[in-house]
Structure 1
Amino acid sequence: MAEIIIKQVAKSFGTFQALHSIDMTIRDREFMVLLGASGCGKTTLLRIIAGLETPSQGEVWIGGRRVDHLPPRERGIAMVFQNYAVFPHLTVFENIAFGLRMKKLPQQEIDKRVNRTAELMHIEQLLKRYSGQLSGGQRQRVAVARALAMEPDVILMDEPLSNLDALLRLEMRAELKGVLAESKSTAIYVTHDQVEAMSLADRISVMNGGKIVQNASPVEIYRDPAARFVGSFIGNPPMNFIKANRQDIGRWRVAGLDLYGPSHGASSLEFAIRPEDLTIGEGGFIATARVVEPLGAHTLVTCEVDGKPFRAVLDSDLKVAPGDVLTLIPKPDRIRWFDPETLLAV
C-alpha cells in the first residue's frame, strides 16, 4: 500500500509563503496530477514529498509511515526530472541499473528488471548505447525506465515531457499512462500543461498561490469548476465570463438576455460558459465576430458581447467572417455561476 497523506503542509522561503497549509490524500496506485501556472507551489510540494525540501510545518505520510523526517532514499520513492538527469558516461543499461546497483541487488535481478523496464519503454534495442547518442525522447524514456526499475511505492514526475516536441509528448503521454498502470506505483505528476493533466490523471489538484483550489476528476474539473480561477485556467480557450444582474429571485439579466439561475441574494453574479457550449440560433447573445481562426474540425471565433471579448467554438462548416453578427445560444445545462466577491461557484 502506498497511500500518501499530506497534513497541513506549509513552506516559507524567508518572507515568501510558497505553500499554505496543504491537506491532500492520494490513494494507493492513483495517478494524481498537480496542475498550475509557474510559481503556484506545485514543484515545491512535490519536492517536499520527495524529501528534497523540508516543510516549514506539517506532516507527510507514505504507506502508513510518517516520512517528512526521513531522507529521500528511505521513503520508497523514485523521481523523474524535467531535464532527464541521465548519466552521459554510462550506457542505457547502466543508467537504468544505477539505482539497483546502489541497492546491491544480485546481477540476475538487475538484468531482469532492466530488460523488463526497457521493453516496457520500447528502448530494449538501445541498451548498449550511451546517452549522448540518444534523442531527447529516448533520454526521457531512459529516465522513466530507471525510475520504474526501482519498483518504487511512489513515482514522482516533475514536468517530464516539457522538453519534448508536440508529437513526442502525445506519444509519451499514451505510453506513460499504460506503463504506470502496469507498475502498480502511486504516481504524482507535476505539469502546467492542462492537456497532459486531463489525459493522464485519475484526479487533478489545481493549484494557485500556494493553495489547492480544486481536487477532483478531470471531467469534474472541466465541467464543474469550483472557483473562477479553475474555469479560466482549464480549457483552451477558457470559459467566457459576463456580469449578471439580478432581476428577481432566480432570474438574471446577462448581456441583454433574461436567464434562470441560482436563487442567490447578491445583486450581481458572474455568468460563465465554455466556448464549445454555444450554438448559433435565435434568442441568444448578440455577438459581433472580430477574429475568425479555422482549426480544422472547428472554428474559433472571438466575438464582442456586451463590449467585451467572448469566444465561441463553432463547427467548421459554418461560414463566419469578421464583422458578421451572430446570435449565440448557451446550452442551459452547461451554464455556471460564480460569486464576484469570493470567486467561488454558486
Structure 2
Amino acid sequence: MAEIVIKGVAKNFGSFTALHSVDLTIADQEFMVLLGASGCGKTTLLRIIAGLETPSQGEVWIGGRRVDHLPPRARGISMVFQNYAVFPHLTVFENIAFGLRMAKLPSPDVDRRVRRTAGLMHIEQLLKRYSGELSGEQRQRVAVARALAMEPDVILMDEPLSNLDALLRLEMRAELKGVLAESKTTTIYVTHDQVEAMSLADRISVMNGGYIVQADRPTEVYRNPAARFVGSFIGNPPMNFLPAKPDGAGRWHVAGQSFAGPRTGGAEFAIRPEDLHPAQTGLQAEVRVVEPLGPHILITAQVAGQPFRALLESDHTITPGEVITLAPVPDRIRWFDPETQKAIA
C-alpha cells in the first residue's frame, strides 16, 4: 500500500510563503496531477514529498509511515524530471540499471528489471545505444523506465513531457497512463498543461497561490469548478463570466436577460463557451473575431461590455461586426460568490 497523506504542510522561503497548510490524501495506485500556473506551489509540494525540500510545518506520510524526516532514498520513491537527467556517456541499459546497481541488486535481477521496463516503454531495441545518441522522446522513455525499474512505492513526475513536441506529447500521454496503471504505482504528476492533466489524472489538484483550490475527478473539476479561479483556469477557452443583479424572487438579470439562480445576496453568472448556441432569445453578443477550428468556430465577442467567447459548430456562418443571440444551456450555468469567489451550490 502506498497511500500518501499530506497533513498541514507549509513552506516558507524567508518572508515568502510558497505553501499554506496544505492537506491532501492520495490513494494507493492513484494517478494524482498537481495542476497550476508557474509559482502556484506545485513543484514545491512535489519536492517536499520527495525529500528535496523540508517543510516549514506539517507532515508527509507514505504507506502509513511518516517520512518527512527521512532522506529521499529512504522514502520508497522514484522521480522523473523535466530535463530527463539521463547519463549521455552510458548506454540505455546502464542508465536504466544505474539505481539498481547502486542498490546492489544481483546481476540477474538487474537484467530482468531492465528488460521488463524497457519492454514496457518500447525501448528494448535501444538498450545497447548510448543515451547521448537518442532523441528527446527516447531519452524521456529511458528516464521513465529507469524510475519504474526501481519498483518504487511512489513515482513523482515534474513536467516530464514539456520538452516534447505536441504530437509526441499526445502519444506519450496515452502510453504513460497505460504503463503506470500496469505497474500499479501511486503517481504524482506536476504540470501546468490542463489538457495533460485532464487526460492523465484519476484526480486533479488545482493549485493557486500556495493553496489547493479543488481536488477532484477531471470531469468534476471541469463541469463543477469549486471556485471562480478553477473555471477561469481550466478550459481552453475558459469560462465566461458576467455580472448579475437579483430581482428578489430567485431570478437574476444578466446582460438584459433573466435566469433562475441561487437565493443569495450576490452572484456572478458563468457559462462555458461550448455550452452556448445561437437562438432567437438570449444574450446579445457583438462579434469581434471569428476563428475557424476545423469542426468548430471560436467566436470572440462583447456581451454587455464584457469579453465573451462561444464555441459553435462550424456550419454556422458568422462574420465580425455581426450581432448574434446566444442562449446558454440552462443546466450548465454556474454561479459564483463575487466576494469569496467560491461556487454557489
Aligned to 1:52: 52
Instruction: Tell me the distance in 1 between the aligned counterparts of 2:258 and 2:316.
Output: 27
Deviation for aligned residue 1:134: 0.3
Q: Which amino acid aligns with 1:304?
A: Q
Instruction: Tell me the distance in 1 between the aligned counterparts of 2:129 and 2:268.
Output: 58
Q: Which amino acid aligns with 1:177?
A: K
Q: Within 5 Å, give how 1:210-249 maps onto structure 2.
A: 210-249=210-249
Q: Which amino acid aligns with 1:170?
A: L
**Which is worse superposed, 279-288 or 35-44?**
279-288
Q: Does 1:11 align with 2:11?
A: yes
Aligned to 2:311: 313
Deviation for aligned residue 1:236: 0.1
Q: Within 5 Å, give how 1:33-52 maps onto structure 2.
A: 33-52=33-52
> Deviations 1:192-212 (Å, cap 9, x if unpaired)?
000000000000000000000
Instruction: Tell me the distance in 2 between the aligned counterparts of 1:309 and 1:9.
Output: 38
**3-state secondary structure, aligned to 1:18:** strand
Identity %: 78
Q: Which amino acid aligns with 1:277?
A: D
Q: Which amino acid aligns with 2:31?
A: F
Query: Out of 264, 270, 273, which is 1:272 matched to?
Result: 270
Instruction: Tell me the distance in 2 between the aligned counterparts of 1:7 and 1:304.
Output: 45
Q: TM-score, normalised by structure 1?
A: 0.99
Q: Which amino acid aligns with 1:309?
A: P
Deviation for aligned residue 1:43: 0.1
Structure 1: 5+ residue stretches without partners: none
Q: Does 1:287 align with 2:285?
A: yes
> Deviations 1:124-178 (Å, cap 9, x if unpaired)?
1110111111000000000000000001000000000001000000000000000
Deviation for aligned residue 1:254: 0.2
**3-state secondary structure, aligned to 2:321:** coil
Aligned to 1:198: 198
Deviation for aligned residue 1:309: 1.0
> Deviations 1:275-327 (Å, cap 9, x if unpaired)?
00001111110111100000001000001100111000000011111011111
Instruction: Tell me the distance in 2 between the aligned counterparts of 1:132 and 1:81.
Output: 17
**3-state secondary structure, aligned to 2:244:** strand
Q: Which amino acid aligns with 1:257?
A: Q
Query: Out of 320, 335, 338, which is 2:336 matched to?
Result: 338
Q: Within 5 Å, give how 1:73-112 maps onto structure 2.
A: 73-112=73-112
Q: Which amino acid aligns with 2:227?
A: A
- 8 A contact 2:278–2:325 mirrored in 1: yes
Q: Within 5 Å, give how 1:165-184 maps onto structure 2.
A: 165-184=165-184
Aligned to 1:299: 297
Q: Which amino acid aligns with 1:295?
A: L
- 8 A contact 2:87–2:132 mirrored in 1: no
Q: Which amino acid aligns with 2:302?
A: E
> Deviations 1:6-26 (Å, cap 9, x if unpaired)?
000000000000000000000
Aligned to 1:2: 2
Instruction: Tell me the distance in 2 between the aligned counterparts of 1:158 and 1:138.
Output: 17
Moved over 2 A (4+): none
**Which is worse superposed, 247-256 or 270-279?**
247-256
Instruction: Tell me the distance in 2 between the aligned counterparts of 1:330 and 1:164.
Output: 37
Deviation for aligned residue 1:249: 2.7
- 8 A contact 2:95–2:146 mirrored in 1: yes
**3-state secondary structure, aligned to 1:232:** helix
- 8 A contact 2:173–2:200 mirrored in 1: yes
Deviation for aligned residue 1:66: 0.2
Aligned to 1:121: 121
CA RMSD of aligned residues (A): 0.5
Instruction: Tell me the distance in 2 between the aligned counterparts of 1:343 and 1:334.
Output: 18
Instruction: Tell me the distance in 1 between the aligned counterparts of 2:119 and 2:249.
Output: 62
Q: Which amino acid aligns with 1:49?
A: I
Aligned to 1:69: 69
* Equivalent residues, number: 344
Instruction: Tell me the distance in 2 between the aligned counterparts of 1:258 and 1:189.
Output: 43
Instruction: Tell me the distance in 2 between the aligned counterparts of 1:16 and 1:305.
Output: 39
**3-state secondary structure, aligned to 1:318:** coil
Instruction: Tell me the distance in 1 between the aligned counterparts of 2:191 and 2:157.
Output: 9
